[in-house]
Structure 1
């Protein structure tokens, strides 16, 4: 017998063959095993499904009522089996991922493009937003994987974490700024500068690690969008912190200088997955591509 057959598969085969013996032969069962399974099904439904004849069997009225439902059930089970096979082979299914803004500049799109080329049958659904949002979605079952970030030394609780990279911090300056040609800067050298910051509390900005050492930026303008911040910087209205993952989208009239990690340590970037759950083939494949892309 190549594979087990359900009660309804046995029922359909007996109905088709008109004989327990012929059905048993087709299914690879013994005649007594087929008879027992039909008896189990009849007990479940509380009705006789076959009239036992001197030569073979035929459907009773109850059996004729059950027949189309059994056929429909078989079709649905076959479809389910095909979908599960597609999930295992990455020929179908869905992958739900999330990422914070800087990761969506290059890291995540490159991994998504590579995944799409290799596994075009898998539908990828992307969600954007801050790390806290994605941690909650992972816990609720709303995401399969998310790219998360946290300042060095600040733990992320909840998901299983897979380290991708340590992300340096840069300061974005106008091209004509006196520090534009420097390789590295200390925040103390920028104490008199005016800053472009988002409309969030200071402890939720990229400058948060420096606040514990007493650094306080002189905020000139509140701007949330990364592209708009660069416009303000290029116009000479102030400077801003920019993470390395967003460096690939910096405009030509803005200069980037690394901030000394003694002032702003590298940010930890992880792929997060729901805690304690095994990885689907799609999650494993996408995680591998994220690691390859991050290493590059």
Structure 2
């Protein structure tokens, strides 16, 4: 017999003051209640009830056990309620990871819509590079991440990728730049420009596919932070690549022009989950797909 059932029977007998009344309340036979009380007494090594001519009453040992049995009952009840909340999205926790430019529009819009639909689910969000989120997902430290995985590399074992959208690359120019009014531009037209990059190794930047195709930009200023990069662009110190997802956060004195996809291919944006995601992660993934669909037209990327 499960221990929690023995405690439920014990509490019913203590409350009702008789095996017969407890059996009626629990829907058991009187003999079944007697056997379960005896099992608990054998397990605890103590007589829990004083048998009287009419009913029973707690012994000293029974009075000691009573608050602990009530605590077990309450904890189990709370656990059942929390588990039910997980299934119905009325509670629980979603551990989310995302890379920086996804946090400009895709992720916050999704999170806001998810909160409106499921206000009882707490969401924690950590920003960082995609490779970090994929590793944390594989280790069970995150429930879902929005990532931009390398095209040639398979995801880590234990991670499933769900394609959301393909993101164009833009170039940020100062307002007075000769190309500022263009709809699209080729990298060859920007070969003489001074580029602001985020790392010394261009292979570690958004330029990776362009470098692989043979384009080597002239680099001057290096800045890791988007605020610093765009501030330098606005001041006329150079130009920089900007992912289309980050366009909504770009300052107004900077102009964005699309880079031709033959020069810098669209970047694949995916949601990453474990093979068996939580109920909350599954719901958030559905909301991500809705948000991605609404963003595709504005981004100008492929589906």
Match of 2:272, SS?
strand
Tell me the TM-score normalized by structure 2: 0.89
**Equivalence map 1:81-230=2 (5 Å):** 81-158=80-157, 159-230=159-230
Question: RMSD in angstroms over aligned alpha carbons?
Answer: 1.8
SS in 2 for 1:141: coil
Decide whether the 8 Å contact of 2:143 with 2:277 is kept in 1.
Answer: no
Match for residue 272 of structure 1? 272
Q: CA deviation at 1:155?
A: 3.4
How far did 1:153 drift? 4.0
Counterpart in the other structure of 2:43: 44
Counterpart residue number, 2:57: 58
For residue 44 of structure 1, report the CA deviation from its aligned partner.
Answer: 1.7
**Structure 1 unmatched runs, 5+:** none
Q: Does 1:238 align with 2:238?
A: yes
**CA–CA distance in structure 1, aligned partners of residues 143 and 237 of structure 2:** 41
3-state SS of paired residue (1:271): strand
8 Å CA contact retained: 1:151, 1:266: no
Whether the aligned pair in 2 keeps the contact of 1:206 and 1:241 (CA below 8 Å) is yes
Q: Deviations over 1:50-102 (max 9, x none)?
A: 23334332323222211111011112222222222222222222222111000
Counterpart residue number, 2:31: 32
Name 2:286's counterpart in structure 1.
Answer: 288
Q: Could you tell me how far apart the structure 2 residues matched to 1:188 and 1:155 are?
A: 32
Q: Mean alpha-carbon deviation: is it higher for 185-194 or for 204-213?
A: 185-194
1:135 to 1:284, Cα distance in 2 relative to 1, 3 A: same
Query: Runs of 4 or more off by more than 6 Å in structure 1?
Result: none
CA 1:156–1:184: 2 relative to 1, 3 Å: farther
Q: Is residue 152–residue 265 contact of structure 1 (8 Å, CA) maintained in 2?
A: no
**Offset at 1:143?**
1.6
Change (3 A) 1:228 1:179: same
Deviation per CA, 1:153-177: give whole Å up to 9, x if none. 4433342111111111111122222
The 3-state SS of whatever aligns with 2:132 is helix
The residue aligned with 1:74 is 73
Q: Which moved more, 1:251-260 or 1:152-161?
A: 152-161
* In 2, Cα distance between equivalents of 1:185 and 1:150: 26
Over 3 Å counting, the alpha-carbon distance change for 1:179 and 1:154 in structure 2 is farther
1:127 positional shift: 0.9
* Gaps in structure 2 of 5+ consecutive residues: 295-303
Structure 2 Cα separation of the partners of residues 98 and 14 of structure 1? 51
Aligned length: 290
Aligned residue for 2:269, secondary structure, equals strand
Q: Which moves more between the two structures, 261-270 or 84-93? A: 84-93
**How do 1:11-26 and structure 2 match up within 5 A?**
11-26=10-25
> 1:184-213: per-residue Cα shift (whole Å, max 9, x none)?
222222222110001352111001011222
CA distance in 2, matches of 1:189, 1:232: 20
Partner of 2:299: none
When structure 1 is superposed on structure 2, of 86-95 and 20-29 the one drifting more is 86-95
Q: Which moved more, 1:52-61 or 1:255-264?
A: 52-61
Determine the C-alpha separation between the residues in 1 that align with 2:215 and 2:266.
17
